[in-house]
Structure 1
Amino acid sequence: MSPTTLENDVQYVCDLANSKRIAGKRTIIGVAGPPASGKSTLAEAVVRCLNQEENAVPVAALLPMDGYHLDNRLLESRGLLARKGAPETFDAHGFCDAVQKLSSATRESFHPKFDRQMDLAIANSIAIHPDTPVVVVEGNYLLLKAEPWATLKDVFSATVFVSPTIEELRDRLQQRWIKHGLDPTAAMQRATGNDLPNAELVLNESREADVLLNQNYTEFGVRYAY
């Protein structure tokens, strides 16, 4: 697979979303991939692109899975804080139910958003208008074959899987923790102890997507890691 640029991939996914639109029906695009694959960067850029023209109602909305992280205190009480980011550390059923309801929304819906700096989810931070025709859903586990994630299979109008190499992911994950203040050794331990097992789960246990991207972006001298 040849490297691609962010701009090219964004336009490709926007064209895909527009091709799936049906009058009177909401189009839901799933963007999945392992942690640090670049899926969040792609999903955010796709929504910006679709909303380039000002409208009374946004053409597209973004729903990230990260808002459904369980609270740190709850994770700590269950001995799961060190595994934060693994499937069992999310309100998976709540998230899947919310995505399924998007298909037939008749009123405005509100969803949580994860704040990375505060390391917690903030309730009702995302509002999705009932007349917004496109919703881009983004997260690690959207395509997992296991329940309850498998219930999303028929919800998506199209799916995109972002998949750099495991070596690239290892480097990005280490750099992510270094930016959070860890030294290189501690950052690699954090990455290999939790993030990489989660990445391998996503790579090995996800069903095939409609579009596969490697997202090895180096445009403008920047590697996109989120």
Structure 2
Amino acid sequence: MIEQDVQRVCDLISSRRQVGVRTIIAIAGPPASGKSTLADAVVQSLNTQQSSAVPSATLVPMDGYHLDNCVLETRGLLARKGAPETFDGVGFCAAIRELQFTRHESFHPKFDRTMDLAIANAIAVHPATPVVVVEGNYLLMDSDPWRNLTDVYAATVFISPTLEELENRLQNRWISHGFDPQTALQRAIANDLPNAERVIRDSRKADLILSQNYTEFGMRNAF
């Protein structure tokens, strides 16, 4: 059950709280692994545990740093959207590193799946919020620029269902977007699954590794 994993992550965060800097936690995994669902649930849990008006935790997804479709089309990368080179990885890493020490309110982009684009300044991080949970596919990749955040994360979590389960979820995701089952499967095999295999193969070992199936919790929110 997801509740058990949420508690495990919250306990990990509690044990890794930083002094003098903001505590930044990475939740990584391949597409459709359930990391967005878990990360959102963790932030909600942390915020229900405190009575202050200031959020105890804020979620900053990597997806907000998708390059715009026009940029991807110009570079011939639109069909590869979701691959590492289709993100502003350098900008993302710089923004997360700055969150460690910033003492002012900061704003971050959020990806809108319906519109298929990033919305600038859609996420506000309060200067007094002590924990930021970051989630995304490539947070633990052992290559630049992603590994430049190795010393920033107070703790890391990796979610990795089987490739068979990921294929089913990815196909169902495209079906939910209106594609027939065969086209949905082709899309998953052509781009999403290679990205998933790359994440699993090239990510560093996390402090906590999970393989829980979050289907019952609502996989339509997972990414």
The bucket for the TM-score relative to the shorter chain is over 0.9
> Which region of structure 1 is more displaced relative to structure 2, 88-97 or 47-56?
47-56
Amino acid at match of 1:127: A
Please give the residue correspondences for 1:132-147 in structure 2 after superposition, counting only pairs within 5 Å.
132-147=129-144
User: Is 1:45 aligned with 2:41?
Assistant: yes
Residue number among 57, 72, 75 corresponding to 1:75 in the alignment:
72
Instruction: Confirm whether residue 161 of structure 1 aligns to residue 158 of structure 2.
Output: yes
Q: Describe how 1:178-217 pairs up with structure 2 within 5 A.
A: 178-217=175-214
Distance 2:212 2:34 in 1: 6
Task: Quote the residue 1:120 is aligned against.
Answer: 117
Alignment-mate amino acid for residue 70 of structure 1: L
- Deviations 1:164-199, CA, capped at 9 Å, x for gaps: 000000000000000000000000000000000000
Instruction: Choose which of 85, 88, 92 in structure 1 pairs with 2:89.
Output: 92
Q: What's the TM-score, normalizing by structure 2? A: 0.96
CA distance in 2, matches of 1:195, 1:97: 26
Number of residue equivalences? 221
CA RMSD of aligned residues (A): 1.2
TM-score by length of 1: 0.95
TM-aligned CA distance change 1:107 to 1:223, over 3 Å: closer
| Aligned-partner residue type, residue 9 of structure 1 | D
Q: 1:77-117 deviations in whole A, cap 9, x for unaligned?
A: 11100000000000000000001111111111110000000
Question: Match of 1:70, SS?
Answer: coil
Give the 3-state SS of the residue equivalent to 2:209 in structure 1. strand
1:218 deviates by: 4.6
Provide the C-alpha distance between the structure 1 equivalents of 2:72 and 2:14, rounded to a whole number of angstroms: 39
- Indicate which of 7, 22, 26 corresponds to 2:22: 26
1:41-86, Cα deviation, whole Å (9 max, x unpaired): 0000000000013422110000000000000011011110000000
C-alpha distance in 1, partners of 2:155/2:36?
Answer: 17
Deviates more, 1:161-170 or 1:12-21: 12-21
1:10 aligns with 2:6: yes
Q: C-alpha separation between the residues in 2 aligned to 1:14 and 1:48? A: 11
Structure 2: segments with no counterpart, 5+ residues: none
**Partner Cα distance (2:181, 2:216) in 1:** 25
Is the 2:37–2:219 contact (alpha carbons within 8 Å) kept by the matching residues of 1? Answer: no
Following TM superposition, the consecutive aligned residue runs of length 4 or more in structure 1 with deviations greater than 6 angstroms are: none
Identical pairs, percent: 67
- Work out the CA distance in 2 between the residues paired with 1:54 and 1:183: 47
Shift of 1:129: 1.0
SS for the counterpart of 1:51 is helix
Distance 2:100 2:185 in 1: 40
